[in-house]
Amino acid sequence: MATERTPTPTWFPRKEPTLNKRFVTNLKRQFALWGSIAVLGAASGSFAASIVIINGDDPGVGYNDPRPVTPVGGNPGTTLGEQRIVAISYVAEIWGRALTSTNQTIEVLSGFLPQGCTGRLASANTWQFSRDFPNAPFRNTWYHAALANKIAGVDLDQARNDPAPEAFAIANFDLDEPNCVEGVSWYYGLDGKPPPGGQDFVRVMLHELGHGLGFATATDEITGEYFRGVPHVWDRFLFDNTLGRTWNDMTVAERKASAVNNEQLVWTGFTVTVDAQRTLTRQPQLDLFVSGASQLNGFVVSGIPNFGLPAGSRRASGLIAFTDDPRPPGDACTAFDTALARKVRGKVAIINRGDCNIVDKVLNAQNAGARGVVLIQPTPAFARPFFPFQFDDTPGIRIPAALISQQDGAKLRASAGNFTAISFIDVQRRAGTDLFGRVQLFTPTVVIGGSSVSHWNTSASPNLLMEPFAVGDESITLRPPTDLTLSLFKDIGW
Ligand SMILES: [Ca+2]
Ligand SMILES: [Ca+2]
Ligand SMILES: [Zn+2]
> 60-92: per-residue pLDDT in tens?
999 999 999 999 999 999 999 999 999 999 999
Count of domains observed in the chain: 3
Given 430, 449, 484, which residue is the final one in a domain? 430
Given 430, 449, 467, which residue is the final one in a domain? 430
CA of 458 to the centre of ligand 3 (A): 12
102 plus 37 within the same structural domain: yes
Given 380, 402, 430, which residue is the final one in a domain? 430
CA of 357 to the centre of ligand 3 (A): 37
Ligand number nearest CA of 475 is 2
384 plus 486 within the same structural domain: no
47 plus 185 within the same structural domain: yes
Residue 227 within any structural domain of the chain: no
CA of 250 to the centre of ligand 1 (A): 33
CA of 453 to the centre of ligand 3 (A): 10
> Could you list which residues have their CB under 5 Å from ion ligand 1?
155, 157
Ligand number nearest CA of 468 is 3
Give the confidence band of 415 by pLDDT, cuts at 50, 70, 90. Answer: very high
> Could you list which residues have their CB under 5 Å from ion ligand 3?
16
18 plus 166 within the same structural domain: yes
Alpha helices in 142-238 (DSSP H): 145-152, 156-159, 201-213
**Residue 344, domain extent:** 282-430
Residue 221 within any structural domain of the chain: no
Residue 4 within any structural domain of the chain: no
200 plus 141 within the same structural domain: yes
Ligand number nearest CA of 15 is 3
134 plus 155 within the same structural domain: yes
Cβ-proximal residues to 331 (8 Å cutoff; 6+ apart), any chain:
323, 324, 325, 351, 352, 354, 355, 361
Q: What share of the chain is helix, strand, coil (3-state, %, to 5)?
A: 25, 25, 50
24 plus 93 within the same structural domain: yes
Residue 378 · residue 352 · CB < 8 Å = yes
> Could you list which residues have their CB under 5 Å from ion ligand 2?
458, 460, 463
83 plus 19 within the same structural domain: yes
422 plus 438 within the same structural domain: no
Q: At 96, which amino acid appears? A: G
How far, in Å, CA of 208 to CA of 204, rounded? 6
CA of 121 to the centre of ligand 3 (A): 10
Residue 220 within any structural domain of the chain: no
Residue 423 within any structural domain of the chain: yes
CA of 460 to the centre of ligand 2 (A): 4
Residue 200 pLDDT exceeds 50: yes
**202: closest CA among 472, 482, 483?**
472
CA of 69 to the centre of ligand 3 (A): 29
77 plus 165 within the same structural domain: yes
Residue 37 pLDDT exceeds 70: no
Cross-strand pairs, 392: none
CA of 309 to the centre of ligand 1 (A): 57
Residue 89 within any structural domain of the chain: yes
pLDDT in tens, 384-397: 676 655 555 566 88
pLDDT in tens, 430-477: 999 998 899 999 999 889 888 999 999 999 999 999 999 888 888 889
Strand, coil or helix: what is 172?
strand
159 plus 43 within the same structural domain: yes
Residue 245 within any structural domain of the chain: yes
CA of 19 to the centre of ligand 1 (A): 20
19 plus 162 within the same structural domain: yes
CA of 233 to the centre of ligand 1 (A): 20
Q: What is the CATH number of the domain that holds 293?
A: 3.50.30.30
Residue 6 within any structural domain of the chain: no
Residue 465 · residue 485 · CB < 8 Å = yes
Cβ-proximal residues to 367 (8 Å cutoff; 6+ apart), any chain:
335, 336
Of the ranges 96-100, 169-173, 267-271, the best mean pLDDT one:
267-271
